[in-house]
Amino acid sequence: MLIAGFPSAVFGTNCYVLSTGPGNECLVVDPGMEVVPQLDAVLAEHHLKPVAVLLTHGHLDHTFSVTPVCGARDIPAYLHPDDDGMLADPLSGLSAQTREMFSRTLQWTEPDDVRPLQDGDVLRLAGLEVTVDHAPGHTRGSVAFRLPYADHERVPEVMLSGDLLFAGSIGRTDLPGGNHETMLRSLAEKVLPLRDEVVVLPGHGEQTTIGRERAANPYLQGLADGTSNAAPSRRGL
């Protein structure tokens, strides 16, 4: 399996490219702000052909380049329907301060072909099988993507967690559509049951593992018995 990732120039949102190997079809996950030149370079380096864009949620820092990436190749985007409204009005999911920053300069066009994601879906695209976990809390439509890794003994699975889970933290829940209690429930139901060896590729920051976060992430402490008391996070857009 080939997994290439890089942070966007604005907000440091991680964009990922997934493929069975060089020269094959691929998936693009969360093309954020000003990523197109770097994404094109990754695609050219590995001779990859995108067949779809997967979006972990609807926030602008994860969706900003979805229309140019999809439109240039006539490919669909996938997003949970609960976040569709942020493709129609990308400012609607932002804080007042961030809305003000973009309100006078944002030029936005929705992608033509947006297909729905649902909890438990298995997407068979580009030769990969991607399982969808609906994990609301950061937004109503937040999802994580899981797929088997080639080295099943050492790394049984990879999770692209979006803004559900970071190394040492979680996504913020104080934006429109966010809810801290819902986030904790998603973590308990979608993260804690996974094996420690699962590699987590988050929406921001460095990669981690489920075992590392289970042991050290304050937001996961006490979730198993319902005693978690970590304050809401402010990390993310």
> d(Cα 226, Cα 45) in Å, to the nearest integer?
47
Least confident of 1-15, 73-87, 205-219, 221-235: 221-235
Mean of pLDDT values over 182-192? 96
What does the angle CA 192 – CA 190 – CA 232 come to, to the nearest 5 degrees? 80
- pLDDT at position 155, please? 75
Domains and CATH numbers, the chain: 2-216 (3.60.15.10)
Place of tokens 């400012």: 91
Closest CA to 101 of 6, 9, 11, 203: 11
Mean of pLDDT values over 174-200? 95
Say if residue 184's pLDDT is above 90.
yes
> d(Cα 163, Cα 13) in Å, to the nearest integer?
10
Closest CA to 219 of 177, 184, 176: 184
- pLDDT at position 153, please? 66
User: Could you tell me which residues come within 8 angstroms of residue 200 by beta carbon, excluding any fewer than 6 positions away?
Assistant: 158, 159, 161, 165, 167, 207, 208, 209, 210, 213
Say if residue 152's pLDDT is above 70.
no
> d(Cα 80, Cα 164) in Å, to the nearest integer?
14
Q: What does pLDDT average to over the chain?
A: 92
Least confident of 88-97, 137-146, 196-205, 226-235: 226-235
Instruction: Report the percentage of the chain scoring pLDDT > 90.
Output: 78
Mean of pLDDT values over 83-107? 83
